[in-house]
Chains A and B, each alone.
Chain A
Amino acid sequence: MIRAVIVMNTQGKPRLLKFYDFQPPEKQKELIRSVFAVLSGRPDNVSNFVEADAIFGPGTRLVYKHLATLYFIFVFDNSENELAMLDLIQVFVETMDRCFKNVCELDIVFNFNKMHAIVDEIIFGGQVLETSSEQVMKAVEEISRLEKSSNSISFVPKAVSGRFGR
């Protein structure tokens, strides 16, 4: 079972958090801090797997990918295949890339709502739901369309977020 999906930047700021076991806010902050402490200390040439027993409890591991200014982290227990999790991160990142056309940190910051939609279409209650980024895209686009068509607006359209450079 997947325990958590975390996206954070290289300064340790969380950009997307999804815990499949509820975590109170204080605990959540602490988890982020400890994960960041582990990842920021790791050199580039090492494996992408970290034993996370000390952070998330016995038997847990995390796999991460460091892309541009972001860490993508999946935390899971020993019933999952580490290599497959690495591929799942790949699916996740590919899907975001398709959604935002060359995704960057700012897209994620201003569209965390849509990010959640993507995560929920890939992982469902800690289980893998869909591994084809095409299928995920379809579902996410349909949700966006429904949100717009019911005469409400999405929080921050892509065009708006684009205007705020760094």
Chain B
Amino acid sequence: MNAFSSPSRLRDLIRAARACKTAAEERAVVRKECAAIRSSINENDQFFRHRNLAKLMFIHMLGYPTHFGQMECLKLIAAVGFPEKRIGYLGLMLLLDERQEVLMLVTNSLKQDLNHLNHYIVGLALCALGNICSAEMARDLEPEVQRLFLSRDLDIKKKAALCSIRIIRKVPDLAENLMIPAASLLKEKHHGVLISAVQLCITLCKVSDIPLEHLRKSCIKGLVQILKELSNSSYTPEYEIAGVMDPFLQIRILKLMRLLGQGDVECSEYMTDILAQVATRTESHKNAGNAILYECVETIMGIEATSGLRVLAINILGKFLSNRDNNIRYVALNMLMKAVSVDSQAVQRHKTTILECMKDSDISIRKRTLELVFLLVNETNVKPLTRELIGYLEVSDQDFKGDLTAKICSIVKKFSQEKKWYIDQMFKVLCIAGNYVKDDVLHSLIITISNALDIQGYCVRSLYKALQNHPDQGSLVQVAVWCIGEYGELLVNNIKVSEVENTMNVTDSHAVDVIEASLKHHLSDITIQSMCLIALLKLSSRFTSTSERIREIIIHHKGSVVLELQQRAIEFNCIIQRHQNIKSSLLERMPALDESSYIGKRTSSSQVNISAVKLTRPTPVASPSLPNGVAHAPTNPLLDLLDLIPDDNPVPTSSTNDIVQDLLGIGLGNPLTSGTISPSVGTDILLDLLSIGGTNDQNDVPVLDVSSKQGSEPLTNPSTFEVMDLLDGTTKDRSTDDEHPVYPSIIAFQSGTLKVAFAFTKKPDKPQITQIQVTCTNLSTDEYMDFIFLAAVPKFIQLQLEPASGNILPANSDGAITQTLTLTNSQHGQKPLAMRMRMTYKVNNQDKLEQGQVNNFPPEL
């Protein structure tokens, strides 16, 4: 009978598993053991069933599948002996899932065991039911469980109460059946039973309103009485923890009171005294006492308490904050966060203590404090709080700086009443934690600066100073470089110096110095370096004395290994060297950036990778002031063009065509014009541009920042003009022409019966393209049917024939057929146009054919 006389097997398994050095070894041991157990199960070995299951539980704990042992659990539960039943139920709880059908088979055994004479076996069954019961089982076994409420054994009573919790969770309908027995359990004296009963009541209240109402009426007195006794500590050492009477029971009762008092003024009023008593009398030196206080505070916050009681509660939390125990501070912060919404005023009073917690050694407490402080900030206290936070930013450790910086930035942005204060705070943050500031925060800072006309000088001077002291703070460098580039002259000339500033003597070369230093700084990334190049370019037009030096720096970067920098350097050098006449307008200061449209743009283009380079994007504000609608052409084609025409690599004539096509492609990346790309559109753009090009001194035209890399960047007029200029080899002659050139029409063909006339139109920017309007007239007295005009050209010319206006040509010149041809002469200027044509038609159903060669094209074509 006793198969366990040698207990070595389970012990051996544990030892073997412990001795394994690697996971692979452990897997091997478990696999071997599982195989043995399976074969033992297959042999239906009764002696080892008990031990097999124990081993399976161990294997389960190690994380291996044990489903094959599920039936063994059921067999053991059905056994007679206590040890078998116990291990069977244990296995049932650990190895089985309530979703499994096997579980249905156990219902009957459970029913029998719930009625067993041995109350330990009843306890086992209750325990298993409380852990794994499914909805069906709950319905089947609920009467048995409820009957056990009346058991004389206290252990069974409390287990039955807790088991009902699971039953109600599975089948909420049963709540009403259990409400009265649950209420009667609250009259018990035994603490264990009381805890269970209170927990059952809590569950009932959460599930349905009927028990809630019932308990409000019948139980509130009893609960207050129990709490009073506990609080007055009538001594029962069994349930005392660290000098506090049964904290668990107190906590549960407080929790139940919270549910009862919520939304019920009368009930809440009834509790006020006892809550105040608990809040004032409970010992707060030990964790257990604090746990009660904490729960009590939560209850006060939850019920319809008087404001005096609330202040008392928040003061308890305030006291918690100065407690030495991390855990107490942690829960206090949690609770205060909830309390802010209830009574913000009372929480504000503990601001100083809360701020102290920012310096806590525990990061989870610091994070919580930060969240809380964030909730506490309002218009009145934003300045001192920001000062504190920034002061703390200096000493905080690295992992916390990111969070802290983000929160400070958002507070400062949200509550700033004056621009100068906002800018000042942001500069401070940039100096301390510039590497943690997010790009979007930077963008909005720059927008603010660009709109703050009266303090731009102050900004650029502060940034200049800051940059010298903190060259390693990435975002600071970006903002400073941008501002020096834009507002460099304010820096040098000390314009609009306010009283509070110390005057500085900054010369042109100092300004260039700092930017050059940033350009060379080892921590500067491409973004910063590109921005430095732009700033230098801008400064070159402002500071004439340093322009030669700037040119050298830019030329130096023409050899940069970073493509982006190299490209910029080449472009900028080109601007400096070859386009002096437009440089100053190109490098104008940017117009004030419009915040609302910027925000709109950000949300619409959120899928575009946002990089700091965007800082310099010209905003659409500028567009309405433009005389035409083509301002949105993207920058990319420009860059392409610049690539095509590097100054040391002259363009072969044959590629001119490509360039023009590239120009036409300006619209390609732009949804506004992409639908209408055709030669004529391209021509219009250029014509419009030409009319602008004549007035170089337009001041309201925004300056192009070639830094923008995104294809969606709007390109403003002068830059497109720049494109023109770069093409000056081919268009110079015509670029001054404001009118369409006029070409004389010719008679291309004339016979006794047919006349063909050509009229020419040509866009000045595309000399190689000629549009010909063909007009055919019938000189005979017979009507021509099925008239077809055909043309042929040499290989160097491309011909495009549009459909004719008709195919019937009336007699006696009484009407005409018109047709448009487009000729593209790829060797324009070298070879003249030439064409042959053929006209076929039917006169009185007879096919006729006439052909001829056009030799008299105007020479300019």
Contact = CB atoms under 8 A, between A and B. Distances in A.
Interface stretch (B245-253, B602-610, B621-629): B245-253
A12 B360 CA distance: 28
Nearest to B81: A150
Contacts of A135: 192, 238
B362 A47 contact: yes
Contacts of A82: 294, 327, 330-331
A99 B650 CA distance: 94
Contact of A25 (B66, B86, B330): B66
Contacts of A84: 247-248, 251, 291, 295
B199 interface: yes
Interface of A is mostly: mixed
B2 A124 contact: no
A132 B192 CA distance: 8
A28 interface: yes
B82 A45 contact: no
Interface in B51-98: 51, 54, 57-58, 60-66, 81-84, 86-87, 90, 94, 96-98
Interface string A20-46: 101011101100100000000000011
Given A46-B363, A87-B287, A146-B82, A125 B166 contact: yes
Contact of A110 (B11, B81, B238): B11
A125 B15 contact: no
B158 A130 contact: yes
Contacts of A143: 86, 120
B7 interface: yes
A2 to B, nearest CB: 11
Contact of B63 (A20, A25, A116): A25
Contacts of A45: 326, 361-362
A16 interface: yes
Contact of A17 (B61, B98, B199): B61
A151 interface: yes
Contacts of B248: 84, 87-88, 128, 131
A155 interface: yes
B853 interface: no
Given A48-B327, A84-B295, A131-B246, A142 B64 contact: no
B310 interface: no
Given A46-B326, A84-B248, A150-B82, A112 B238 contact: no
B250 to A, nearest CB: 9
Contacts of B294: 81-83
B759 to A, nearest CB: 77
Interface string A95-116: 0000000000000011011001
B63 A32 contact: yes
Give the interface centre of A25, A84, A86 by most chain B CB atoms within 10 Å: A84
Contact of A87 (B87, B131, B155, B288): B288
16 contacts: A20-B131, A22-B96, A46-B363, A47-B329, A81-B251, A81-B291, A81-B294, A83-B294, A84-B291, A110-B14, A112-B61, A113-B54, A124-B162, A152-B4, A156-B7, A164-B15
Contacts of A15: 61
B364 interface: yes
A10 interface: no
Given A142-B120, A152-B2, A129 B192 contact: yes
A22 B62 contact: no
Give the interface centre of A131, A151, A153 by most chain B CB atoms within 10 Å: A131
Contact of B192 (A109, A113, A130, A160): A130
A69 B51 CA distance: 28
Contacts of B97: 22, 24
B364 A46 contact: yes
Given A49-B330, A112-B61, A129 B238 contact: no
B7 A153 contact: yes
A53 interface: no
Contacts of A77: none
Contacts of B14: 109-110, 156
Nearest to A90: B241
A91 B246 CA distance: 12
Nearest to B98: A22
Contacts of A112: 57-58, 61
Contacts of A91: 241
A137 to B, nearest CB: 11
B247 A87 contact: yes
Interface string B224-259: 000000000000001101000011110110010000
B568 interface: no
B339 to A, nearest CB: 16
A125 B11 contact: no
Contacts of B84: 152
Contacts of B66: 25
B238 A156 contact: no
Given A45-B362, A124-B127, A25 B10 contact: no
A129 B158 contact: yes
Contacts of A86: 287, 291, 327
Contacts of B196: 124, 127, 129
Contacts of A113: 54, 57, 87, 90
A112 B56 CA distance: 12
